[in-house]
Structure 1
Amino acid sequence: MRRCIVCSGEFFKEPLLIYKNMPSAAQNMPTQLEVTRDYGIDLELYQCSCCGLIQFAVEPVNYYKDVIRASSFGKTITDLRRKQYKDFIEKFNLYDKKILEIGCGQGEFLEILKEFNVKPFGIENKKELVDRGIRKNLNIVQGFIEGKENVIQNGKFDAFLSFNFLEHQPNPNGMLQGIHENLVDEGVGIITVPSFEYFIENDSFYEFIRDHIAYYTEETLTFLLQKNGFQIVEISRFNRDTISAYVKKRSRADLSKFQLNFNQLTEDINTYIDLLKKNDNKVAIWGASHQCFTILSAAELQGKIEYIIDSATFKQGKYSPATHIPIVSPEFYFTNKVQAIIVIAPGYSQEIIQIIKKHYNDDIKIAVIQSRTLEYIN
């Protein structure tokens, strides 16, 4: 069974399109002597039933690792690239930072990047193109990124660029994981691919070619990037027919404030209960909620709490997990009175406080846990 190059999901059973006698490649056009040996191929376009990616079920062309560009560009494309670089560098404060272009050809776009106050680098598979770039005093190394094991010379890099290269790749996950591995923490990048939305808007059947294995929409490109450790900072249409994504290497979540709250709240609860116990006051909890169970364990309240009150009959007669404090009905209080109740029932706190005030002893002490704090009602 043929599967998706991004998520390994199965294709929908029938192809979306079948084109007969299509060019086997866009490059390496046959000479007069070769035309008799040149044959078209049938192309079948499929869609992944899981992630939705549109793709050809074919082997890649034999030069998919190489970047083939015109040796010169018109003013329109150079001005667009210059504007894009300026925005990218300013947005992420990349001045004097190392920026790597993935699949840089002979360095056509690196020459534009040299105009800015950054440190441009490139990686290109084809030696002939690498040599041409080096002759132009560009910092280019020969290589191709297929996975995390590929360590790129001069790394790690602060940012990367990939211009209409990803759609050629039969293993986009491996390429992106390799890029990810060669970036500094918080590293950023630009990725562009042809826009399949643009093809749909213009019924552009002539855009299909074997060289482009995958046809990304903003949705499927986003999925691919997130799957491989990148956050989407910004994604939009560039020059009408191209998707441009600004990405950032996903960083580890900072939960240090959780620990601060853990320490403070558990200390406050224990201080309050210890003070009550010092005056021979018994303490109960109201609310056999998951929040309650976590707080009981975090604050190590086993042995300090008489019981947990809860109106849900299916909880009554049971015990709190881990701390093993009995769960009882609200009526249990009248035969086993306590002098203080701590309410731990987010969403129901005010309702419970009113029940306690109305039906329990007037002098009962009430406290409630609200978000980060222990609040004293009386």
Structure 2
Amino acid sequence: MLFGVEKFICKACNKPALVKFISFGKMPIANAFLTKETLEKGEFYYNLDVGFCEECKMVQLIEMPPYSKYIVPDDAGKTHYAFFSSTSKFMEKHFAEMAKEAEEKFLDENSQVLDIGSNDGILLKAFKNNKTLGIEPSDNVADVARTQGVETISKFFTEELAGKILAEKGNFKVIFSTNVLLSIIEIGSCMKGIERLLANKGVFITEDPYIPEILEKVSYDQIYDAHVWYFSLTSLSNLFERYGLEVFDAEKQWVHGGSMRVYACRKGDYPKTDRLKKYLQEEKEKDIDTIQPYLELSKKVEQSRIELKALLRKLKDEGKKIVGYAAASKGTIVQNYCDIGRETLEYISDSTPFKQGRFSPGKHIPIVSPEHFHEDNADYALLSAWNHAEEIMQKESEFLKRGGRFIVHYPTPRILEPESTNKPSNNPNSEDFPGVEIKKLNVIANGQGYLFEVVRNDDNLFSGKFGQTLVSELYPGTIKGLHKHSKQTDYTTCIKGNIKYVLVDDSQEPAKIKVLTIGEKNSILVKTPPGYWHGYMPLANEKATVLHLMDRTYNPKKPDTERKDAFAFGDVWTVRPS
């Protein structure tokens, strides 16, 4: 059957406008890790097909497996979920910052906070001055939350449950849903419940994987049974509108391989930000509201499978020992779609005790403890939790020191080198500017001189798009900027001398300003995405040579450049005594 011909009923808007654009074939439940006993009983499989609704623009699974297949009760009737959020220290920091932002922007001491899908209480435990309530249907992780003092209801969130909570607890000023809204099958009932529980001027904050990021990274492993929806701001705006809510702000996040934090309210409660308008315009330019980019994704996914299998086959032919790292849902999808079994991966290392001693869904690869991995002499590890690559590579420094390397499949299959995992969120120079990334350039010097790599096609910060390269020499006292682009991404480094590089985000008041030094004293490459004002000047009364790489060619008839006076945001240029 040709994709794009047969139409299904969209489960978001109930219109016969859902068009299939990709099929991964029969797939097991991604987190249904098997014991020795259950290996013989057989597994549940479903058709992992994905569609795009031409009416409401929502991307979704065509077959949505019931919750009972992946939130499974034990003999005592208690349900279990295989992932504990607090196992990641980076995520703890992320949620603590999220809580702080909500406190500063939306809460007072009498406000209540609700978290839908609260897991082990990782977000709510960060609130010290407000009453909180978690909704978590999995008993095992909810029990952990309760031990930390987080009141938690072990039920699925529905309009009916919202009514009971309203009667007992009243309204909530902020309602969170982090990496959860995409998992709620009856999303209409959920939205009705949220609208009922929101207090006056209340805010619903949701943070989920962002479909344009999946398209760009070809991170198809984020598509699996527990993720039934894949949101753009366009599709979320359409969804919220049907339930009396509207999106008023949004902010890109690095978590889960690229997410969007979305702020919604009752219509008219808060003004829509320029940042939101910019994101919506970007989606329009990328044709996110059409099926075309999704059909293109289908082709890229198939090519990724071919290349990953070829890379692994080559390494095995060379006699290399390959294992898996992290028994994550993402890994289940890659292993089964790419037909990677025990003939390729001898085992999978995972730090979650619940998973150790079990077997991976579909391919039945044994899961072992990190101690086994540390004592072994594997040459390569196929990394499932690639969105935590930096944290993992810091933790597994000994593996890297002895020559071990991690393999990832996105955006194309490749071997990660230790220096190629920079993430903006963990860099103190860029964490306040989503999308801005910084790469430390390694300078190699000897008696003949020195060299340093600037950009590699396997750098995480490099999008893969090349427009042109320029070299400019600046005389002392020259200020270049301020300017910004609506479409173009800039990559900038200073190859001779030093420059002060200024970034400005004026999407909200007051404008945020970040100042960096780039050059011989601090060899870094800065990626500046569209939407940020930026400029630079030489330091120390010396000339500076600057290397620019852009992802678009310059068109003098349609210049993608907006300019401001260099002092539009005050004197950010004068070097002041410390």
Report whether the alignment pairs 1:219 with 2:234. Answer: yes
* 2:210 matches 1:195: yes
| Cα distance between partner residues in 1 of 2:269 and 2:175 | 20
Q: Which amino acid aligns with 1:144?
A: F
State the partner residue of 2:265.
248
Answer yes or no: is 1:171 the counterpart of 2:203. Answer: no
Q: Answer whether contact 2:86 2:92 (CA < 8 A) is retained.
A: no
Q: What are the within-5 Å matches in structure 2 for residues 230-269 of structure 1?
A: 230-239=245-254, 241-250=258-267
What is the Cα-based RMSD across aligned positions, in Å? 2.5
In the other structure, the counterpart of 1:33 is 37
- CA shift digits 1:302-323 (9 cap, x unpaired): xxxxxxxxxxxxxxxxxxxxxx
Cα separation, 1, equivalents of 2:53 and 2:117: 27
Deviation at 1:94, TM superposition (A): 3.5
Q: Give the 3 Å change call, closer, same or farther, for CA 207–107 of structure 1 in structure 2.
A: same
Partner of 1:130: 142
- Pick from 56, 65, 86 the counterpart of residue 51 of structure 1: 56
State the distance in 1 between where 2:44 and 2:106 align.
Answer: 48
2:124 aligns with: 110
Give the structure 2 partner of residue 17 of structure 1. Answer: 22
Alpha-carbon shift at residue 174 of structure 1 (Å): 1.0
- Give, in whole Å, the separation in 2 of the partners of 1:6 and 1:124: 23
Q: Deviations over 1:23-63 (max 9, x none)?
A: 2x122212223234125433221111201111111133324
CA distance in 2, matches of 1:48, 1:10: 8
Name whichever of 29-38 and 126-135 sits farther off. 126-135
Shift of residue 7, structure 1, vs aligned partner: 0.9
Question: 2:65 is matched with which residue?
Answer: 60
Taking the aligned partners of 2:18 and 2:146, their CA distance within structure 1 comes to: 46
CA distance in 2, matches of 1:136, 1:223: 38
Query: Residue in 2 aligned with 1:364?
Result: none
Please give the TM-score of this superposition, normalised by the length of structure 2. 0.40
Please give the alpha-carbon distance, in whole angstroms, between the structure 1 residues aligned to 2:120 and 2:229: 24
> How far is the alpha carbon of 1:110 from its aligned partner?
1.5
Larger radius of gyration: 1
Show CA shifts across 1:292-338 (max 9, x none). xxxxxxxxxxxxxxxxxxxxxxxxxxxxxxxxxxxxxxxxxxxxxxx
1:144 to 142, 149, 156: 156
Can you list the C-alpha shifts for 1:171-214, whole angstroms capped at 9, x where unaligned? 21210110111122221121111111111001122222121111
| 1:16 positional shift | 0.2
Kept in 2: contact 1:18–1:45 (CA 8 A): yes
Instruction: Kindly indicate whether residue 94 of structure 2 is the aligned counterpart of residue 80 of structure 1.
Output: yes
Alpha-carbon distance, 1:167 to partner: 0.8
More strand by share: 2
DSSP 3-state at the match of 2:30 = coil
Q: 2: distance between equivalents of 1:92 and 1:248?
A: 12
Change (3 A) 1:155 1:122: farther
SS of equivalent residue, structure 2 residue 239:
helix
Counterparts of 2:84 and 2:161, CA distance in 1:
31
Tell me which of 95, 106, 113 is aligned to 1:92.
Answer: 106
Q: Which runs of 5+ in 1 are unaligned?
A: 254-378
The verdict on how the C-alpha distance between 1:42 and 1:112 changes in structure 2, with shifts beyond 3 A counting, is same
One-letter amino acid of the structure 2 residue matched with residue 111 of structure 1: K
In 2, distance between residues paired with 1:32 and 1:11? 43
1:159 has 2:174 as partner: yes
What is the percent sequence identity of the aligned residues? 21
Query: How far does residue 166 in structure 1 lie from its aligned partner after superposition?
Result: 0.9
Paired position in structure 2 for 1:3: 9
Instruction: Give me the whole-angstrom Cα distance separating, in 1, the residues matched to 2:269 and 2:146.
Output: 38
